[in-house]
Amino acid sequence: NLSYKNKYDYFKPEEKAELFRLKAKFLSGPQYRHNANQAYCHASQICAGYGKSWLSWGDHCIELALSTEKEQQRKTVCNLYTD
């Protein structure tokens, strides 16, 4: 949508990156993790020197890894008890 794109034209690259970083923070829930990852990626592409977006994206990746590890451990424990 052309009018949607023009709204972002008034912001500096750092401000655009911050908007997408905040969007990603809101999307960090279990159902929207893929969308959050895309928003973090977009924030980093808009302004590669904006460290806050990289740090938040790194934190998001760590959370994903830990939740995946915990889920794998739960599955292992369930398999031990059901076998």
Give yes or no for residue 1 having a pLDDT over 50: no
Q: How many residues does the chain have?
A: 83
Q: CA angle, 34 as apex, 61 and 23 as ends, to 5°? A: 85
Spell out the residues 6+ positions from residue 63 whose beta carbon is closer than 8 angstroms to its own.
28
What is the DSSP secondary structure assignment for residue 9, as one 8-state letter? Answer: T
| pLDDT at residue 82, as a whole number | 75
pLDDT at 4 over 60: no
pLDDT, tens digit, for every residue of 12-44? Answer: 999 999 999 999 999 988 888 889 999 999 999
pLDDT digits (tens, 9 = 90+) for 37-77: 999 999 999 999 999 999 999 999 998 888 888 778 777 87
What pLDDT does 20 receive?
94
| Cα separation, 54 vs 83, whole angstroms | 43
